[in-house]
Amino acid sequence: MGIKARFKTFATRPELKELRFTLNMIKKSPLSLIGMGIVLFFALIAIFAPVIAPPLPGRDPYIIPREGFSRTPKPPSENHIFGLAQGGYDIFYGCIWGTRTAFYVGLTVIVCATLIGIVLGSISGYYGGIIDEVLMRITDVFFALPGLILAMAFAVAFGPSLDSVIKALILVWWPTYARLVRSEVLRIKNLEYVEAAKASGCSDFRVIVRHILPNAIFPILVVASLDTGSVVLEAATLSFLGIGAPYGYADWGQMVSFSRNWIVGLPGNPYAYWYTFVIPGIFIFMFVLGWSLLGDAFRDILDPMIRRR
């Protein structure tokens, strides 16, 4: 077989056809392009944070540098383009390095919660019976309480720190993925190809990992991309309440917290200190928006029920 014939055979493989179809759907979806653009923009900020906002030598780069200790915020200037927050904290530095914090918190929580949910949801849905009953009743306990209140309780119990917030959010988020994975496993486990795999002597582990999960992963990816922004928003809320990142840490929630005494501005000038909360708020809003748009695009692209319409 010649080179042209081999290339033609390779180009007509079903996997490549499906990949081309997916790429065309991405090009036709403005939401996917906007979402990807926003997330990529923040990713570049996180990668080049040491260049955009160089840290002070010999100091933890995540601790925001201070320009004095003034209680009153300072407006944007040539040296501090976003101004100074209460306590003399540089808002520009905090927002730039806060991007790294947002990615660290969001991705760590989602990856860990997803892995826990996949393991427990697979076991629960595949084996059923008493195992399913026990695991699902445990998830019901978590669902019975408001997520933010439960996260606050866990974070306070673990002690105020960024790691405590991450652990608390993981404990709050995994039941969602366990329920989702369980429903997908229940739907798939009785299909013909799974029964054939069992009849051929495959172990339960191989059946779950090789035959069930690959066909149940797409809804999980969609929900995970949507939840990444929500996790960052909830972590920012905890930091705003003072039970998240340590004081002076580069975190968007804490940057907004610095402005809580200055939102009303001054008598006769209610917008005097707008920059203290508007700029960090824009970072939070755009980050959450980017992941939400990306999740909607993933749903349209990966969901087999709508991708072939």
Domains, the chain, in order of start with CATH, read: 26-54+61-302 (1.10.3720.10)
Listed range (34-48, 90-104, 215-229) with the worst mean pLDDT: 215-229
CA distance 237 to 243: 9
Predicted confidence (pLDDT) per residue in 240-292, tens digit: 888 888 888 999 999 998 888 888 767 777 778 888 989 999 999 999 999 98
Is the CB of residue 254 less than 8 Å from the CB of residue 247? yes
Dihedrals φ, ψ of 249, to 5°? Answer: -80, 145
Which pLDDT score, from 0 to 100, does residue 18 have? 61
**What HEC string does 127-141 produce?**
HCHHHHHHHHHHHHH
Mean pLDDT of 221-240: 90
Residue position matching structure tokens 């909607």: 296
Residue type, 61: P
Which pLDDT score, from 0 to 100, does residue 73 have? 87
Which pLDDT score, from 0 to 100, does residue 300 have? 66
Find, among 224, 225, 244, the residue nearest to 234 by Cα: 244
Which pLDDT score, from 0 to 100, does residue 77 have? 86
- For residue 270, give both structure tokens: 């209610």
Q: 66 forms bridges with which residues in the sheet?
A: 89
Predicted model pTM? 0.86
Predicted confidence (pLDDT) per residue in 54-64, tens digit: 998 888 899 99
Residue type, 191: L
Residue 108: in which H helix or E strand, if any? Answer: helix 91-127
